[in-house]
Amino acid sequence: MPRSSQKIIEPIDAPFDKVVKSVVNRGKNGRGTKMTKSICLFNHKGGVSKTTTAFNLGWCIADCGEKVLLVDLDSQCNLSGLVLRYNAIDDDGMMSFYESRKNLTMRPIVENLINGVSPESFMSSENGELLATEHDNLRLLPGSLTVSELDSQISVSLKIATGVPATRNIPGNLPEMLIKIAKKFDADYVIYDLSPNVGGLNEIILMSSDYFIVPTTPDYFCLQAINSLEKNITRWNREIHRFIEDNDLNKKTFTIKNQPIFLGAIQQRYRPRSGKPAKSFEKWINEISSAINNHFIPSLRKIGCVIDEEVMRQSLEGSDLDPYDLAQIPDFNSLIAISQQLSKPVFALTDNEIKTTGRVFGDAEITMKKSRDNFKDIFSELADRVIYLTSQ
């Protein structure tokens, strides 16, 4: 059921479960004004499971009754493949899907933007339907290989717009069009899955988002990426600020608001021992958390791009987590193969799907079901946390 995004009125010291329940039930009495909230999942290091997390988080927020739009902005289109399952069919099936005018994908969006078509003109034309998923409240805007072409155009326009005024609308047109599409779907949330790079497209999507989350993995390279991410986001903030000023754009109405709020990091892809990360992984998890709190957060705070720490602490009430860890998610192991085969998150798999698709029995079946239930708890808490944080 679509609901308004009225700001919750409970005080910050109200019990967390009461506040989340209020957020989930808001709008049933018709109060408030509908707003679509955008969340960007971004880490320019690859292999951190951002695509899987985007899918799972979107599904779990949809489970809460929110309408969610997933947007695949990675030219590799992994999120699209995960939902479409055409990798299990053939190339002809995928080609047929993208060539059908009934389906809205990033390909016509990219083509129209490159050809100078405005978001208003595009939205006024017949442009197809968003892809339905296995969840009634969840839709996908499939990606396209052509996204990389738009990436280079945005990068150039950010640099030359002052001297070539005709290009100054290019950076803001993509996020504006995507939000218009999300609102047409009547989405409560739009979740962006970005490619692992620091190109112009990622810059304008991140800096136009309301919020962002950084997926991480416990290793040295991800620790390095956190330090690099700090420098890139502060640099992007300066570049967009200068772009707005140099091109006499209205800060209040320009699509790129330049103040995405960091909600926290998701530590994932570790092997657990007795419900906790194994020692070898725990070392890197602690070092990444330290880098986030001691370096990343202070830099973001200077530019107003981080959630208030007290609000963050309130969202973590009852958990073993500290700011700014949103969740700790162990490896999915054998469940991921079943999940990908059925285009469903691991926590949404039924007992029968685990048994028949996974072809398991006995102790292995029992273990997988327990693991499935554990992931359900983790992602349900994560979804509640995100809904709470984005409703302050």
* Confidence label for 369 from pLDDT (cuts 50, 70 and 90): very high
Please report the pLDDT score of residue 330 as a whole number.
Answer: 87
What are the tokens at 115?
A: 């050809």
**Stretch 24-41: mean pLDDT:** 66
Domain presence at residue 9: no
Q: How far apart are CA 368 and CA 356, in angstroms?
A: 12
Burial class (CB in 10 A: 0-12, 13-18, 19+), 178: buried
Percent of the chain with pLDDT over 70: 87
**Owning domain of residue 324:** 16-389
Domain presence at residue 107: yes
Please say if the pLDDT value at position 29 is more than 50.
no
Question: Which residues, including other chains, have CB under 8 Å from residue 332's CB and lie 6 or more apart?
Answer: 52, 339, 346, 375
Please report the pLDDT score of residue 5 as a whole number.
Answer: 35
What are the tokens at 356?
A: 């028949």
Contact 23, 388 (CB under 8 A): yes
Q: What is the CATH number of the domain that holds 382?
A: 3.40.50.300
Q: Which of 245, 242, 388 is nearest to 307 (CA)?
A: 388
Please say if the pLDDT value at position 11 is more than 50.
no
Domain presence at residue 53: yes
Domains contained in the chain, number: 1
Contact 70, 79 (CB under 8 A): yes
Domain presence at residue 10: no
**Stretch 302-326: mean pLDDT:** 95
DSSP class of 164:
-
Q: How far apart are CA 370 and CA 195, in angstroms?
A: 33
pTM: 0.90
Domain presence at residue 367: yes
Domain presence at residue 297: yes
Please report the pLDDT score of residue 23 as a whole number.
Answer: 52
pLDDT higher for 32 or 131?
Answer: 131
Average pLDDT, the chain: 87
Each residue's pLDDT tens digit, 87-130: 555 567 778 888 888 999 999 999 999 999 999 999 998 889 99
Domain presence at residue 308: yes
What are the tokens at 229?
A: 């991410």
* Confidence label for 318 from pLDDT (cuts 50, 70 and 90): very high
Question: Which strand ranges, in their side-by-side order, compose the sheet holding 37-41?
Answer: 131-132, 138-141, 68-73, 189-194, 37-41, 211-216, 261-270, 325-330
How would DSSP label each residue in 319-378? SS--TTEEEEEE--TTHHHHHHHHTS-GGG--HHHHHHHHT--HHHHHHHHHHHHHHHHH
Q: Are strands 131-132 and 68-73 parallel, antiparallel or unpaired?
A: unpaired
Q: How far apart are CA 158 and CA 169, in angstroms?
A: 10
Tell which phi-psi region holds residue 107, choosing left (phi > 0), alpha (psi between -120 and 50) or beta. alpha
Domain presence at residue 7: no
Please report the pLDDT score of residue 277 as a whole number.
Answer: 62
Each residue's pLDDT tens digit, 67-92: 999 999 998 899 998 898 755 555 67
Please report the pLDDT score of residue 8 as a whole number.
Answer: 36
DSSP class of 294:
I
